[in-house]
Amino acid sequence: MQPLNPRSNLPTHEVINMPPHLGDQDLWAGDVGLREGVENQGGGWGAEKLAAFGRLAGSRRPLRRLISLIDTRRSSRHTIGTVCVSIKSSSTPRTTT
């Protein structure tokens, strides 16, 4: 992911070893080793939720939302799960099944 505030031109030196922007990516689908490891350790029951979280975690838009939620809610306790549910509900259109 691209840094939110990249700083490559510094007054003292130039930083040239920064990775390129990868764009939105599905962190679950793109990691065969992770999927196989979860399955091999008996975690296959959670694959659907992990897939949804992998898509969310690899998206640039929710990352910005997560940062703003963390900044505005420092005084209250939130788990990554509650923050991600909040991000998902505010950044994806609702569908009925």
Report domain extents, the chain: 32-91
Each residue's pLDDT tens digit, 27-75: 999 999 999 999 999 999 999 989 988 888 888 776 666 666 666 555 5
Return the DSSP state at 69: H
pLDDT of 32 reads 95
Each residue's pLDDT tens digit, 1-30: 555 565 666 677 777 777 777 778 899 999
Residue with token string 């949804």? 52
pLDDT of 97 reads 47
Extract the tokens encoding 81.
Answer: 């799960």
Compute the average pLDDT of residues 78-87. Answer: 57
Total residues found in the chain within this entry: 97
